[in-house]
Amino acid sequence: MRVALDTNVLAYVEGMNGEERQGPAIALVQALAKGATLVPVQALGELYNVLVRKSGWSGDQARAAILTWRDAFSLAPTTGAAIVAAADHRLGIWDSLMVAVAAEGDCRLLLSADMRDGLSWRGVTVVNPFASKRHPLLDALLDEVGGPEP
């Protein structure tokens, strides 16, 4: 099962919101199949912004984090078709674009802690991997790859 990662998952791995989010985020990302996980390019741009503006990282530190994510997972570009598809959705444009890019990448899941859990659009279901009750599709994905227990 293919999966895309939203910015907040990346930010939690980088230490945003403290250790209570970082540990589970790291365990989740380490469990994902590298060849079946996409990082939208938009998420890298947003991550850079979050790390520099909210966390006070230097530009060089944030750039190093972006390069690490780029090297670890396949990147999904923002295409013209994704922008047009995103404009047809009722979410905010940036969240819609994230879902549209995940759909273009044939992802079944978009892991996000700040979009509506369970939202399904164009074959992509948004799942909050940090919810107290784990979504059945996330359970199936983690069972498939031998990921962490809830």
Question: Strands 120-121 and 124-127, how do they pair?
Answer: antiparallel
pLDDT band for position 143 (50/70/90)?
Answer: confident
- For the segment 108-140, what is each residue's pLDDT rounded down to a tens digit? 999 999 999 999 998 999 999 999 898 999 998
At residue 19 the predicted structure's pLDDT band, cuts being 50, 70 and 90, is confident
Report the pLDDT value the prediction gives residue 147, as an integer from 0 to 100: 67
Q: What would you measure as the largest C-alpha separation in the chain, in angstroms?
A: 39
pLDDT in tens, 32-86: 989 999 999 999 999 999 999 999 999 999 999 999 999 999 999 999 999 999 9
The per-residue pLDDT for 105 is 97
Q: What is the CATH number of domain 3-145?
A: 3.40.50.1010
Residue 102 near residue 38, CB atoms below 8 Å: yes
Considering only residues 147 and 18, tell me which one the structure prediction assigns the higher pLDDT: 18
Residue 150's pLDDT is 56
Whole-structure pTM value: 0.93
Cα distance between residue 75 and residue 142, in whole Å: 21
Contacts of 58 (CB under 8 A, 6+ apart): 52
Task: Return the pLDDT at 149.
Answer: 63
User: Three-state SS string across 21-62, please?
Assistant: HHHHHHHHHHHCCHHHEEEEHHHHHHHHHHHHHHCCCCHHHH
